[in-house]
Amino acid sequence: MLNDFTFAFIKPNAVKNSNIGPILSMINKAGFRISAMKMIHLTISQAESFYAVHGEKPFFRDLVKFMSSGPVVAMILCCDNAVEEFRKLIGETDPARAGEGTIRKLFATSLQMNAVHGSDSNENAIKEAAFFFSEFERYYS
Ligand code: IDP
Ligand code: MG
C-alpha cells in the first residue's frame, strides 16, 4: 500500500530507560515520517481496552499493569507499506528471537517489556491510531 501509516508506541520501560531519543532516531533513519506524537500515561482501563484482544491470555493482567505503570510515547508513522516496514524495524515479539539491529533487540528488557508496539495490520493501525489521536492531531497521511 502506498503512502500509508502504522500506529506505534514506545513502551514504559524504554521511556524510563531514557531510550525515547535513540528509538525516534532509528524510526526517522528508517524513513518514517512522524504524523502524530504524544506522551500519555494510560489508565488500567485504557490499557485493558487497547489489549482487549489478549484478554484471555495468561499474561494479560501483567501486561495491563506494565502498560499502565508509566507513560508511553504514542505515534502515527507514515511511509510506504508502513505496517510491514515497521514490524521489520522492531523485530520479533520475543527479543531473544528479534534480529540484530532491530529496536526490540536493542532496547527490550524482557518479552513483556519489549520496548515498542507496532500494529499488525492496516485494519488495526486504523483502529489503534483512532484510539489515541483525533483527526486534529495528525499532520501527514
Ligand atoms: P506484538 O506486540 O509483537 O504484536 P502480541 O502477541 O500482540 O505481540 O503481544 C502483545 C504484547 O504482549 C507483546 O508485545 C508483549 O509485550 C506481551 N506479550 C506477548 N506474549 C507474551 C508472553 O508470552 N509473556 C509475557 N508478555 C507477552
Ligand atoms: Mg500485536
**Is 137 domain-assigned?**
no
Contact criterion met (CB below 8 Å) for 107 and 11: no
The whole-number pLDDT of residue 1 equals: 47
Nearest CA to ligand 1 atom 23: 59
Q: Catalytic site residue 41?
A: no
Encode pLDDT of 3-16 as tens digits. Answer: 599 999 999 999 99
**Is 140 domain-assigned?**
no
**Is 141 domain-assigned?**
no
**Is 63 domain-assigned?**
yes
Marked catalytic residue, from 74, 117, 129, 132: 117
The percentage of residues in the chain with a pLDDT greater than 70, rounded to a whole number, is 97
**Is 91 domain-assigned?**
yes
Determine the Cα–Cα distance for residues 104 and 83; give it in Å rounded to an integer: 16
Number of structural domains in the chain: 1
**Is 15 domain-assigned?**
yes
Instruction: Write out the residue range of the structural domain in which residue 31 sits.
Output: 2-127
Closest CA to 114 of 67, 79, 53: 67
**Is 59 domain-assigned?**
yes
Pocket of ligand 1 (CB under 6 A): 54, 59, 63, 93, 111-112, 114, 117, 120
**Is 42 domain-assigned?**
yes
The whole-number pLDDT of residue 140 equals: 75
Ramachandran assignment for 81, one of left (phi > 0), alpha (psi -120 to 50 degrees), beta (any other): left
117 Cα nearest atom in ligand 1: 2
Taking the CA of 63 as reference, the closest ligand is: 1
pLDDT, mean of residues 70-83: 97
CATH of the domain at 105: 3.30.70.141
Encode pLDDT of 10-57 as tens digits. Answer: 999 999 999 999 999 999 999 999 999 999 999 999 999 999 999 999
